[in-house]
Structure 1
Amino acid sequence: MNTRTDSSTDFTPIDQDLYAAAFRLLDPDPEPIPEPAPPAALVVPAQVPLTAAAPVRLTGPVEKVLTDALAFLDTHGWTRYSLINTDGARCSIGALRGAAGSRNAAYCDAGNLLLDEARRQHGKKWETIPSWNDCHTGAQVRSVWESAIRRAHHLNI
């Protein structure tokens, strides 16, 4: 490679002030350049206490049928010895049927849970919901309903 080192070049020396003046003419109002942000390691986040949000829990179909049936009994009344009496009150099985709307899976599971809870509280001799319902007081029946609803809630069904 052949490089010339003498000072006899054909280039004109650069005038830095001339270039700065030319750039000012091209952009008379330059936007200020933002200062760089400090490194992430130096940023200290504010100490905010974390609060746990309550988890969203949906009511299961069995719990809903049981809850709706008990609300129906509270509103229209409870009876013995008939599915629906002349005043519109229902026995436990009538309330279950009314709340479920049809004999679907939730209706069957709610009935099984209610009968199981009745057996827990009043002995294993009860074969059907109507036979248990007809042999107990309103307070005893309500206690079984409330326990069945709590179990459905805890089982998330």
Structure 2
Amino acid sequence: MNTRTQTTEFTPVDQDLYAAAFQFLDPDPTPAPAPPAVLAVPAQVPLTTAAPVHLTGPVEKTLTDALTFLDTHGWTRYSLINTEGARCSIGALRAAAGSRNAAYRDAGNLLLHEARRQYGKKWQAIPAWNDSHSGAQVRSVWAAAIRRAHHMNI
């Protein structure tokens, strides 16, 4: 006898119906523990209503890692790395990127662009801007550059 079906959908089993059928087959059943309550299966949410997933781009990651480095090890002026291990903005970028790759270059360009946007176009390089501002001002530019990279999804 061939009982194959073409459908892949199955109807849920009614546990009470099975229990009643087995009582007729076994006249002296031993009491079995009560079956667990059947949980309702939640309705599936269409994929179109799911929130979009943001993947962190390499520039955003480099900027975020560099700012975390500055927050952890400290920020300094006038040197790449001071005697206590604190770094300037370029030193933090180098530590975060690991090498002078595309993410390092793009993160530096975005950071300098944000510094110029906030403090004027006279800044030609990150070290000069870094050395001329306070730690709070530098951190503010870093945070704005990270937000911008996030928004640009880079």
Same fold (TM over 0.5): yes
Root mean square deviation of aligned Cα: 1.9
1:107-153 deviations in whole A, cap 9, x for unaligned? 00000000000000000000000000000000100000000000000
Match of 2:119 among 118, 122, 130: 122
Cα distance in structure 2, aligned partners of 1:103 and 1:49:
46
Q: Report the CA distance between 1:54 and its aligned residue.
A: 1.9
Decide which structure has the larger Cα Rg and report it. 1
Q: Report the CA distance between 1:49 and its aligned residue.
A: 8.9
TM-score of the aligned structures, taking structure 2 as reference length? 0.69
Partner of 1:134: 131
Unpaired stretches in structure 1, ≥5 consecutive residues: 1-36, 38-47
Cα distance in structure 2, aligned partners of 1:50 and 1:105:
39
Unpaired stretches in structure 2, ≥5 consecutive residues: 1-10, 12-42
Partner of 1:100: 97
Cα distance in structure 1, aligned partners of 2:44 and 2:115:
46
Cα distance in structure 2, aligned partners of 1:114 and 1:57:
21
Count the aligned residue pairs: 113
Q: Report the CA distance between 1:53 and its aligned residue.
A: 2.0
Please show how residues 35-74 of structure 1 align to structure 2 within 5 Å.
Answer: 50=45, 52-74=49-71
State percent identity of aligned pairs: 80
Q: Report the CA distance between 1:63 and its aligned residue.
A: 0.2
Cα distance in structure 2, aligned partners of 1:106 and 1:92:
15
Q: Report the CA distance between 1:50 and its aligned residue.
A: 4.8
Cα distance in structure 2, aligned partners of 1:129 and 1:94:
10
TM-score of the aligned structures, taking structure 1 as reference length? 0.68
